[in-house]
Structure 1
Amino acid sequence: MINQTWLHTFCTLVDVGHFTLTAQRLYMTQSGVSQHVKKLESQLSTELLLREGKSFTLTEAGIKLYQQGQALLISLNKLEQEIKKDDKYKGRIKIQSPGSIGLKLYPYLLTLQKKHPDLIIDYTFAPNTTIEKSLIEQQCHLGLMTDISKSASVNSKEISVEPLVLITPIDIIHVDWPILMQLGFISHPDASHHGQLLLSKNFVEFDHVNQFMHKGFSNQISLICEPISYGIGFTILPLYAAHSFSKQSKIRIHTLSVPVYESIYLSFCNKSIINERTKFITSSIKDYLT
């Protein structure tokens, strides 16, 4: 393989046409320039220059090497610049979050993509455990989690909080323990966790969500409130998810006397190099959620 440094010296010599001036341009000695050319000739087993005192002419091999070598050096330089280029408005960024945050955040991120068409947003809705695993395996650039990571490979920082709210059918004006027992519970993947957080702070009677009649289950964040819109049961959800439900006139969102908030953590893999587009998206998310 041709040494790129020697080739660069040779092509510069041909451009300049003089050993001394080439040495000055490349911050080398004149003997150093001569040595690079001789090493090239030795490597290729052919003469590249016909030396005539202080001047020279190119052999046929020298002409061919200059023409193709110059094109190669230009191509390599362009490749290097492209690799080093890190445009905050260009490229693909993979983000993961739980459903409720995603319902609020993903439409906002799409407005950024519309403004910067070369910025590609890949958004995955996932539970905390999946997000943590994806970060560790560097399958996504950043994650938003509702629980701080326990892994030493993941750096998590709280950037916002989201209220937990109780949702009932629209005709329920006030909630108390007998009403909740009568309504029954609409469950979802995080129902036990959310119920424990909110209800334990507001009802002395509460022990666990299994105290309530089971009235249904959905793992689709946008449909958890669907049975409630039919007058069936109640549930506990983060506020973003409750507000995203399409039939707001059919449900009632209750803020209880003791408010409870779920933290939102922005998380990265410690081994990842944070590129400019990830920094841009991170800053945008912080501004939007805080």
Structure 2
Amino acid sequence: MINPTWLNTFCTLVEVNHFTQTAERLYMTQSGVSQHIKKLEQQVNCALLERHGKQFSLTPQGQNLYQQGSLLLKDWQFLEQQLKDDSSYSGAVKIQSPGSCGLKFYNQLLALQSEHKELIIDYRFAPNVSVEQAVANHSADIGFLTQAPTFSELTSHKISQEPLLLVTPAGINMPNWQTLCELGFIAHPDASHHAQLLLSENYSEFEHIDQIRRTGFSNQISLILEPVSLGLGFTVLPAHAVAAFNKPALIKTHHLECPVSESIYVCHHRNRPLAKRMNTVIELIKAGVNS
């Protein structure tokens, strides 16, 4: 069995990429770090590093050990923490989601944390694919997604639906196809997906969002509607993101003839049991979206 202390030293060295800084982080001497690496190489009977003076690179075996070993270390750390403390209202919970649902969920979770000071909410906003990756590699405990996950490491279930809305500058009353083409499209990381879902159901002319010229882009959920409010284009966004915009008088939301909603899924790692505090978070969000 691989020595976990030596493995931790090796993974830390790979991440820091510097022997002296690794020693400082682990409260060791530089020679101690070197000894751990040497002992680990002897234990696995292969070279893990190729040394180039004071620099180094990973051998193929070293790269494989780092990829698999770092996941093992995270699992061991998670298990240790879970054994120490499995309270429903204390400990850290790492959560990721796309911006729209996150705008609503984060405030709900902050209210929960305000009631239970020992609960630590770590919330990060990211596109669906990044959320999946984070949960799969244990960088996040829970993920909320607006598309069904594709990673085999994840298990998920649908908890709600969120309407998609066409948003134009305030002066636009009945946006036909020509109006949309004249306005131009304000893009965002999920724009193609959202536009495909909503516009294809309501405009016979629509085939792909590239038919409409792009007049702007923002990857900040709170800023996507700023150019729309200035008359620079239109966009398609989930309802939570539209509701959070702080200048509602400058935009117009259009409920089209064929309403379209996207599903919201909660996911976690298939091989990692949920701690009680994580179930607390999931149940709170489910109650909020279905109330």
Q: What SS class does the counterpart of residue 222 from structure 2 fall into?
A: helix
Residue pair 2:156, 2:265 contacting (<8 A) in 1 also: yes
What is the Cα deviation at residue 162 of structure 1? Answer: 0.6
Distance in 2, matches of 1:220 and 1:84, equals: 38
Indicate whether 1:133 and 2:133 are aligned.
yes
User: Which is further off, 186-195 or 196-205?
Assistant: 186-195
What corresponds to 1:101 in structure 2? 101
- 1:145-160 equivalences under 5 Å are 145-160=145-160
Q: Would you say 1:215 and 2:215 are equivalent positions?
A: yes
Partners of 1:188 and 1:89 lie apart in 2 by 36
| Structure 1 position 84, deviation (Å) | 5.0
| Ranges in structure 2 where 5+ consecutive residues have no aligned partner | 1-79
Deviation per CA, 1:231-270: give whole Å up to 9, x if none: 1110001111111111111001111110111110000101
Quote the offset at 1:151 in angstroms.
2.0
Counterpart of 1:223 in structure 2: which amino acid? L
Partner residue in 1 for 2:196: 196
Query: Deviation per CA, 1:184-226, whole angstroms, max 9, x where unpaired?
Result: 1111111111111100000000111111122111111111110
User: SS where residue 237 of structure 1 aligns?
Assistant: strand
User: What is aligned with 2:240?
Assistant: 240
For residues 169 and 194 of structure 1, the distance between their equivalents in structure 2, rounded to whole angstroms, comes to 18
Correspondence list, 1:252-271, <5 A: 252-271=252-271
Is residue 122 from structure 1 mapped to residue 131 from structure 2 by the alignment?
A: no
2:185–2:215 Cα contact (<8 Å) kept:
yes
| Matched positions, count | 210
Amino acid at match of 1:256: L
Distance (whole Å) between structure 1 residues aligned to residue 213 and residue 126 of structure 2: 28
Cα distance in 1 for partners of 2:90, 2:148 equals 30
Q: Which runs of 5+ in 1 are unaligned?
A: 1-79
Q: Distance in 1 between matches of 2:119 and 2:193?
A: 36
1:85 Cα shift?
A: 4.2
How far 1:108 sits from its partner (Å)?
A: 1.0
Does residue 167 (structure 1) correspond to residue 179 (structure 2)? The answer is: no
Equivalent residue letter for 2:167:
I
SS of 2:258 mapped into structure 1: coil
CA RMSD between the two structures: 1.4
In 1, Cα distance between the equivalents of 2:213 and 2:138? 42
State the distance in 1 between where 2:166 and 2:105 align: 22
- Write the deviation string for residues 2-28 of structure 1: whole angstroms up to 9, x where unpaired: xxxxxxxxxxxxxxxxxxxxxxxxxxx
Quick one: distance in 2 between partners of 1:191 and 1:85? 41
Q: Which amino acid aligns with 1:191?
A: A
Structure 2 distance, partners of 1:149, 1:187, is 23
**Amino acid in structure 2 at the alignment position of 1:248:** P
Pair member with larger Rg: 1
SS of the equivalent of 1:201 reads: helix
Superposed displacement of residue 101, structure 1: 0.7
Residue type matched to 1:247 in 2? Answer: K
**How many angstroms apart in 2 are the aligned matches of 1:101 and 1:85?**
29
Q: Contact between 2:100 and 2:240, CA under 8 Å: does it hold in 1? A: yes
Residue 139 of structure 2 aligns to which amino acid in structure 1? Answer: Q
Distance in structure 2 (CA, Å) of the matches to 1:221 and 1:140: 20
Report SS of the residue matched to 1:166: strand
Which region of structure 1 is more displaced relative to structure 2, 170-179 or 87-96?
Answer: 170-179
Distance 1:181 1:279 in 2: 46
- Percent identity, aligned pairs only, is 47
Moved over 3 A (4+): 82-85
TM-score, L = length of structure 2: 0.70
State the alpha-carbon separation in 2 of the partners of residues 111 and 196 from structure 1: 35
1:132-158, Cα deviation, whole Å (9 max, x unpaired):
111111111110011111222100100
TM-score normalised per structure 1: 0.70
Equivalence for 2:44: none
